[in-house]
Amino acid sequence: LLLAVLPLSRSVTASEAAAQDATLGLASAHQLERQARSAAASRERADKELKQFYTGVLPNSFAVASRTTNRWLQQAAQDAGLEYRGANFAWDEVRESQLSRAYSTVTLRGRYADIRRFLHAVESAEEFLVVERLELQQPATAAAGTTGSLEVALVVSTFFVTEPARQ
C-alpha cells in the first residue's frame, strides 16, 4: 500500500505545483495583455493628438508659414515698441519626417526692456514659434536720439506639414 500511495502523493504534489505555475503564468499573461492594451491606447491617443497638432496648429505650407509668421513677428515687434528692420525666410526639410522647418533671420532695434517684452510674446504665442538663436549688440551706427538702443538678430522657426511627393 505504501508503495502505491507514495508515488501518487508525489504525483499530486507535482500536479499542484504545475497548477500553481500555470496560475502564475496566466496572471502574468493577463498583466502583459493589460500593458499591451494600455500601450496601444496611449499610442492611438498620441497619434490623434499629433494629427490634431499638425492640422490645427501648424501651417499647411511654406507660403502660409512665412506669411503668418512674418506678420505675427512684425506685429509683436510693433506692440513691444521695437523697430522691425527686416527678415529673410527660408525652409528646409526635417529628415525622416513629414514636417519641414520654416525659419527667418529677423533684425529688430530698440531698448533692452522692449526686446525682453518681444521675446516673452514669442515664447507665449499661440503660434508654434521657436527662437533658435539670438544675438544682441549695439548698433554699428548710433543715430541721434538712439542712446540705449540695441539691435537684436534672431532666428525664429516654425514647422509645417510637407506635401508628399507626387509620383
The predicted pLDDT at position 97 comes to: 87
pLDDT of 166 higher than 70: no
Give the model's pLDDT for residue 130. Answer: 94
Question: How deeply is 125 buried, as exposed, middle or buried, from its count of CB atoms within 10 A (0-12, 13-18, 19+)?
Answer: middle
pLDDT digits (tens, 9 = 90+) for 86-121: 899 999 999 988 899 999 999 999 999 999 999 999
DSSP 126: S
* 162 confidence band (pLDDT: 50, 70, 90): confident
Lowest mean pLDDT among 14-18, 98-102, 136-140, 145-149: 145-149
User: In this structure, are residues 142 and 150 in contact, taking their beta carbons and an 8 Å threshold?
Assistant: no
Contacts of 160 (CB under 8 A, 6+ apart): 58, 59, 60, 61, 62, 64, 65, 91, 99, 100, 102
Return the exposure string of 3-37: e unless at least 16 CB atoms fall within 10 Å of the residue's CB, then b: eeeeeeeeeeeeeeeeeeeeeeeeeeeeeeeeeee
Per-residue pLDDT tens digits for 21-69: 899 999 999 999 999 999 999 999 999 998 888 888 899 899 999 999 9
Residues, the chain = 167
* Contact between 98 and 161 (Cβ < 8 Å): yes
